[in-house]
Amino acid sequence: MPPLTDLPNGAKGRVASVSGEPLLRERLVELGFTPGALVEVRGRALLGDPIEVKLRGGLLAVRRDEAVCVGIDVAAAAA
């Protein structure tokens, strides 16, 4: 599954996996990056980092360093 960082602006997908250090991983899932959750990449800041995503009705800015921990299933977005 490609990481969230690979999604172009405007693309949608569903969270497939969350990896990384326990502390980071736990916070990511608590903020809503749980397997199956719908994610939409809304844009990128200056120099392409961080990434702005729409998740569970709210907007979140996530750095590339953290966003690579989120694996995305692009094909499942339509479902």
Partner 1 sequence: MAAMILLGTTIPRRPRRVALAGNPNVGKSSLYNALTGLRQRVTNYPGTTVEKVVGRMSAAGGVIDVVDLPGSYSLLARSPDEAVARDEILGRMHGEPAPDVIVIVLDAANLERNLFFATQILDTGRPCVVALNQADLAFDRGVRIDVAELSRRLGVAVVPTNGRTGQGRDALAAEILAGGKKAAPLGLDLPAPLTESAAALAPHLAARFGGEDRARAALPSILGSEAASAELAAELSKGAENAEAWTRFCAERARLAGAGIDVAAAAANARYAAIDRIAAAAVTSVEGARDWGARLDRVLLHRVWGSAALLATFTFLFLVVFSFSSPLIDLVDGAVGDFGAWAGGLFGEGLAAEFVQNGLVAGFGAFLVFAPQIALLFVCIEALEDSGYLARAAYLLDRLMGKVGLPGRAFLPLLSGFACAIPGMMATRTMSNARDRLVTMAVMPLMSCSARLPVYAVVVGAVFSNSVWTGTVVVISMYLLGILVAVLASSVLRRTVLKGGRTPLLLELPPYRVPGVRTVARNTGRRTWAFISGAGPTILVFTMILWALSTFPREGAATAGDEATTHAAHLENSYMGRAGKLLEPALKPLGFDWKIGVGILGSFAARETFVPTLGVIYAVGSDAEAEDAGLLDSIRNDKWPDGRPVFTPLTGISLLVFYVLALQCMSTLVTLRRETGSWRWPVGLFFALLVAAYAASFLTFQVGSALGF
- In the complex, the residues that contact partner 1 under the rule CB under 8 A are 18, 22-32, 34-37, 42-43, 45-50, 52, 55-63, 65-66
State the nearest-atom distance from the C-beta of 1 to partner 1, in Å: 15
Q: How many residues does the chain have?
A: 79
User: Is residue 48 exposed (0-12), middle (13-18) or buried (19+ Cβ within 10 Å)?
Assistant: exposed
Closer residue to partner 1 in complex, CB, 20/77: 20
Closer residue to partner 1 in complex, CB, 12/42: 42
Closer residue to partner 1 in complex, CB, 2/35: 35
State the nearest-atom distance from the C-beta of 63 to partner 1, in Å: 5
